[in-house]
Chains A and B, each alone.
Chain A
């Protein structure tokens, strides 16, 4: 397994970490891409999904958007955006070559988990709690802001966590279309048959993904005091298939 030797040599050589196309710079670029796209998706998706959930409208769309998003390959969408006349491979400030195309693709892929989870979070607030709030004379806005949002917050955050991890993964794939980010090290290593380098890049990407997931899990725990100390299971989280992401109406169709 000389590849592992090559990988280690690549990672332990300080020169590979510095410079404009070094690991550190690319890592920073990919983090910047990830956070920008997540923020954009939050600004677009959260208000719409939360308000629709509050009103109880548009459920079919809010839930099925996740299924559609899953079926569209990230790589294909990125490829289409890059080859199209707009946004193409234009440089965009610190986001690098094809920065705009990558940001667009990342935002689109962050939207479905955010929208679906936020909508479900609002809908899953117990009906009697909602009824009680109405009985106390709360207005629609008060109910949304003081009752539904605090109770639904854990599920909303779990959607954000899923989106974060997904965006990081997608940002890596940008390198397949010669875009920005750490994936460059992987694809470059592979295209030049320098597998040690490719695997070194993969290791860094995987490690950061795990760190992001852990940080997001901690943040999720912080907003949900009831979850602390209880064993896993029982409660729906980001990856569970039922009941949060299974749409009962979807199965009666057709």
Chain B
């Protein structure tokens, strides 16, 4: 019966009611929510991709030169230790208040996880497999692309999942420089005591993290058909 009088009644996200869960809010501010989600996904995907693009050569380098390995691991762990709210400001003098600041910061965090999982994945390839491939006449590049990387994939994908999920969560902190995707809505929700906005954005963050995680699991299953056959 209140629905009929909706024009006069305050909606569930009005100042007076301020409900946590409010579908009216989702309907009325749809565009805002979609834009924030797109920005969130965009920042996450670009950051993880950039992290992977840097982690790959670093991991190969670390494997080739064991002396460098501990240095690379120490530096990346050091970066990981720095809180995100401190890392973004430290990048601002170089990149300004832009999405680039957030992307570089998040890529650095993803890098730490990815370098480690790449190294561990490559290390998990059995030596005799490597030897047989060499015996079959595989060169270094072919050995890496056709034998080592496919076998390392399960461990690498595990790292990629961890990196993606934590990047989705960390993107919210980007609201410090106004590029935080859903984090911008969370920040606004806190400042204006807007419960529906705050709750919807928080929930979407978690849903997004699990959705991307599930997507990566699917990708992994498609890329490694042999693991399915072995289990069945």
Q: Are A73 and B205 in contact (CB under 8 A)?
A: yes
Which residue of chain A has its CB nearest to the CB of B82? Answer: A206
Q: Which residues of A have CB within 8 Å of B171?
A: 73
How far is the CB of B149 from the nearest CB of chain A, in Å?
16
* Cβ-based interface call for A11 (8 A): no
The 8 closest A-B pairs by CB, nearest first: A169-B83, A76-B202, A202-B89, A71-B209, A202-B86, A205-B86, A73-B169, A172-B83
Cβ-closest chain B residue relative to A4:
B93
- Give the one of A3, A186, A187 with max B CB within 10 A: A186
Interface pick from B21-29, B46-54, B114-122? B114-122
Interface string of B185-216 (1 = CB under 8 A from A): 01101100101001101100110011001100
- Are the C-beta atoms of A242 and B124 separated by less than 8 Å? yes
Cβ of A175 to closest chain B Cβ, rounded Å: 7
| 28 residue pairs A–B, Cβ–Cβ below 8 Å | A3-B93, A71-B168, A73-B168, A73-B171, A73-B173, A75-B183, A75-B187, A76-B198, A173-B85, A186-B176, A190-B177, A199-B93, A201-B86, A202-B87, A205-B82, A205-B83, A206-B82, A209-B86, A212-B81, A233-B119, A239-B80, A241-B113, A241-B116, A241-B120, A242-B121, A245-B162, A246-B155, A251-B154
| Contact present for A75 and B165 (CB under 8 Å) | no
Contact A74/B189 with A80-B198, A232-B69, A242-B117 known, Cβ cut-off 8 Å: no
Are B213 and A71 in touch, CB under 8 angstroms?
Answer: yes
Whether the pair A254, B82 counts as a contact (CB closer than 8 A) is no
Would you list which residues of chain B between 151 and 174 have a CB under 8 Å from chain A? Answer: 154-155, 158-159, 162, 165-166, 168-173
* Min CB gap B174→A, angstroms: 10
Check A70 against B166 for contact (C-beta < 8 Å). yes
Residue total for A at the interface (Cβ-Cβ under 8 A): 55
Interface residues of A in 190-249 (CB under 8 A from B): 190, 195, 198-199, 201-203, 205-206, 209-210, 212-213, 231-233, 239-242, 245-246
Is the beta-carbon distance between A176 and B173 smaller than 8 angstroms?
Answer: yes
Cβ–Cβ < 8 Å partners of B78 in chain A: 210, 213
| Nearest neighbor of A252 in chain B, beta-carbon distance | B231
A232: chain B residues at CB < 8 Å are 69-70, 73
Confirm or deny: A82 has a beta carbon within 8 angstroms of a beta carbon on chain B: yes
